[in-house]
């Protein structure tokens, strides 16, 4: 690889990464430490004999994109809000044009993020479900998880992520939730307070992959932005899109409501990346430079 390509790659990333050269003469740039709920960029520089690069972080697939510089790739990856704290393996699987496969392993330290605690009280019917409701919740959760595993290999967005509705955030991302005094879950998104019927906009361009009225999430829309990145909009009063519909950034996909398990009218907005639940506010830091290389501005 030409020296100017190396220099070009090095300028693509802005934060504190560490470098190491490997036997396979490849360089992987990973963040030394990541936080629960965060979104990060990984850079890979090999040679021009590579046919394909993919990554695995915490058993979940990471999509690498070639950059304009031959032999170099970059990828976005998410750290789940409940990711175990401590060292985690980031594996890069390199396939060469000769069909050889190389594994390049790096260790990333996962640090705890303290998002705080929220205690809420809801009517008993929202926590003590009959077996039929339990079954419904389980099936709906499984179907949503299946959608979020993602099959779209290409990136469907090229502008920054926007906030889907204006308003105060009444419950932040990652709150440890105690419902009626019992630890129930970790808040998987942000709650935006808005009037009933306020338009909900798609955070970026993509394809609608899930539209339904579910028990917990009420009327929900899931938009696929490609390569394992999804945005989710819950408790809508009205859904304005259909499965399979392509949407642009800012497309009106529904109206704010109070359907499902809620204590009031609001928009629950979530982002998942590689099936990891990440902070939607982190998605707003993702950008593309003039060469369409992804970077995070922190
Ligand atoms: Zn919420």
Which range marks the domain in which residue 47 is found?
3-113
Query: Per-residue pLDDT for 16 more than 50?
Result: no
Examine residue 188 and state whether it is found in any structural domain, yes or no: yes
189 C-alpha to center of ligand 1: Å? 6
Q: Given this model, what pLDDT does residue 17 score? A: 39
Examine residue 290 and state whether it is found in any structural domain, yes or no: no
Q: What is the dihedral of CA 228, 219, 185, 76, to 10 degrees?
A: 20
98 C-alpha to center of ligand 1: Å? 49
Residues 49 and 94 in one domain: yes
Average pLDDT for 28-55: 93
Query: Per-residue pLDDT for 274 more than 90?
Result: yes
Residues 169 and 62 in one domain: no
Examine residue 292 and state whether it is found in any structural domain, yes or no: no
68 C-alpha to center of ligand 1: Å? 39
Residue that terminates a domain, selected from 88, 113, 138 = 113
pLDDT tens for each residue of 251-263: 999 999 999 988 8
Q: Given this model, what pLDDT does residue 23 score? A: 52
Q: Given this model, what pLDDT does residue 2 score? A: 53
**137 three-state secondary structure:** helix
Residues 199 and 274 in one domain: yes
Examine residue 259 and state whether it is found in any structural domain, yes or no: yes
C-beta of residue 280 within 8 angstroms of C-beta of residue 189: yes
Q: What is the dihedral of CA 255, 229, 13, 285, to 10 degrees?
A: 20
Q: For residue 233, how many other CB atoms are within 10 A of its CB?
A: 28
Examine residue 294 and state whether it is found in any structural domain, yes or no: no
Q: Given this model, what pLDDT does residue 178 score? A: 92
How many domains is the chain built from?
2
Query: Per-residue pLDDT for 187 more than 80?
Result: yes
The fraction of the chain above a pLDDT of 90, given in percent, is 73
Label each residue of 214-260 as H, E or C: ECCCEEEEEEECCCCEEEEEEEECEECCCCCCEECCCCEEEECECCC
- Quote the pTM value: 0.88
Residue that has been written with the tokens 């490609």 in this structure? 226
Examine residue 48 and state whether it is found in any structural domain, yes or no: yes
From the list 183, 195, 167, 208, the residue with the least C-alpha distance to 119 is: 183
260 C-alpha to center of ligand 1: Å? 11
Residues 160 and 235 in one domain: yes
105 C-alpha to center of ligand 1: Å? 36
Residues 267 and 165 in one domain: yes
pLDDT tens for each residue of 95-125: 989 888 999 999 999 999 999 999 988 888 7
Q: How confident is the model at residue 6 (pLDDT cuts 50, 70, 90)?
A: low
Q: Which residues surround ligand 1, an ion (CB under 5 A)?
A: 191, 268
C-alpha–C-alpha distance, residues 34 and 115, integer Å: 15
Query: Per-residue pLDDT for 213 more than 90?
Result: yes
In this structure, what CATH number is given to the domain that contains residue 28? Answer: 2.60.40.1930
284 C-alpha to center of ligand 1: Å? 18
Residues 259 and 144 in one domain: yes
C-alpha–C-alpha distance, residues 202 and 214, integer Å: 20
Higher pLDDT, 60 or 126: 60
192 C-alpha to center of ligand 1: Å? 8
Residues 169 and 245 in one domain: yes
C-alpha–C-alpha distance, residues 237 and 20, integer Å: 52
Name the strands in the sheet holding 252-255, side by side, starting at the edge strand that comes first in the sequence.
199-201, 252-255, 238-239
Residues 102 and 181 in one domain: no
Label each residue of 156-203 as H, E or C: CCCCCCCCCCCCCEEECCCCEEEECCEEEEECCCEEECCCCCCEEECC
Residue that terminates a domain, selected from 82, 97, 113 = 113
Residue that terminates a domain, selected from 78, 113, 148 = 113
191 C-alpha to center of ligand 1: Å? 5
Residues 138 and 261 in one domain: yes
Query: Per-residue pLDDT for 293 more than 70?
Result: yes
Q: How confident is the model at residue 126 (pLDDT cuts 50, 70, 90)?
A: confident
Mean pLDDT of the chain: 90
Q: For residue 278, how many other CB atoms are within 10 A of its CB?
A: 29
Residues 237 and 163 in one domain: yes
User: What tokens were used for 68?
Assistant: 């304009």
Query: Per-residue pLDDT for 158 more than 60?
Result: yes
Query: Per-residue pLDDT for 57 more than 60?
Result: yes
Distance spanning both ends of the chain, measured CA to CA: 30
Q: Given this model, what pLDDT does residue 5 score? A: 57
Residue that has been written with the tokens 């306020």 in this structure? 198
C-beta of residue 298 within 8 angstroms of C-beta of residue 292: no
Higher pLDDT, 244 or 27: 244
Query: Per-residue pLDDT for 266 more than 90?
Result: yes
Residues 107 and 136 in one domain: no
Average pLDDT for 31-52: 94
C-alpha–C-alpha distance, residues 269 and 253, integer Å: 13
Residues 93 and 126 in one domain: no
Examine residue 11 and state whether it is found in any structural domain, yes or no: yes
């Amino acid at each position: 690889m030409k020296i100017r390509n190396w220099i070009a790659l090095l300028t693509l990333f802005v934060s504190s990464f560490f470098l190491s050269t490997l036997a396979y003469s490849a360089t992987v740039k990973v963040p030394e430490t990541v936080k629960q709920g965060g979104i990060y960029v990984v850079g890979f520089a090999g040679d021009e004999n590579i046919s394909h690069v993919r990554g695995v972080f915490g058993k979940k697939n990471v999509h690498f994109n070639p950059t304009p510089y031959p032999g170099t790739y970059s990828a976005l990856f998410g750290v789940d809000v409940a990711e175990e704290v401590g060292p985690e393996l980031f594996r890069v699987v390199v396939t060469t044009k000769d069909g050889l496969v190389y594994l390049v392993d790096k260790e990333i330290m996962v640090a705890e993020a303290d998002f705080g605690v929220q205690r809420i009280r809801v009517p008993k019917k929202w926590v003590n479900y009959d077996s039929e409701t339990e079954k419904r919740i389980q099936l709906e959760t499984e179907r949503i998880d299946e959608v979020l595993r993602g099959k779209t290999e290409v990136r469907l967005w090229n502008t920054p992520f926007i906030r889907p509705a204006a308003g105060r955030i009444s419950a932040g991302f990652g709150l440890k939730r105690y419902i009626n005094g019992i630890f129930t879950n970790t808040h998987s998104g942000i709650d935006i307070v808005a009037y009933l019927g306020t338009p909900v906009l798609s955070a970026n361009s993509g394809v609608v992959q899930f539209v339904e009225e579910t028990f917990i999430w009420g009327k929900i829309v899931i938009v696929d932005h490609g390569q394992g990145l999804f945005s989710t909009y819950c408790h809508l009063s009205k859904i304005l899109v259909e499965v399979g519909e392509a949407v642009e950034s800012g497309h009106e996909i529904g109206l704010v409501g109070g359907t499902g398990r809620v204590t009031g009218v609001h928009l629950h907005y979530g982002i998942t990346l590689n099936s990891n639940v990440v902070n939607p506010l982190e998605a707003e830091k993702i950008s593309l430079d003039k060469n369409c290389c992804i970077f995070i501005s922190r």
